[in-house]
Homo-oligomer: A and B are copies of this chain.
Amino acid sequence: MKGIRVRSKVWLEVDGTPFLGDGRERLLRLIFSTGSISAAAREMGISYRRAWAQLESMEKLLSYPLATREKGGARKGETVLTTEALRLLERFDTLKKGVREFVDDKFEEFH
């Protein structure tokens, strides 16, 4: 067989509803790096409203906040991710890397 590649995709669901895949992972990471939902939305080419709605739907499903506003300090006014959000991102990343490595191993079988 010639040049066959195995591709994979991983996402998370709560009660059958998808809430975290590559797109939303990127949104959360951009909020983390920019400190702003609107800057993250701009970077992704989506509206602020849409980014905010995605964040809200994730929080609703998880029943805990993923982002909060800094009330004081040097980052006052910025949107920062909660510890739970960072933990979720880290776990999702580990999962994705694990699946990719597993698939890359299996991929040899297709040559």
Contacts and interface: CB of A to CB of B under 8 A. Distances in A.
A2 B14 contact: yes
A66 to B, nearest CB: 12
Chain A binding surface, main DSSP class: mixed
Contact of A8 (B8, B88, B94, B110): B8
Interface string A12-56: 111110100000000000000000000000000000000000000
Interface residues of A, number: 31
Contacts of A15: 3
Contact of A6 (B63, B95, B106): B95
Contact of A4 (B1, B5, B13, B103): B13
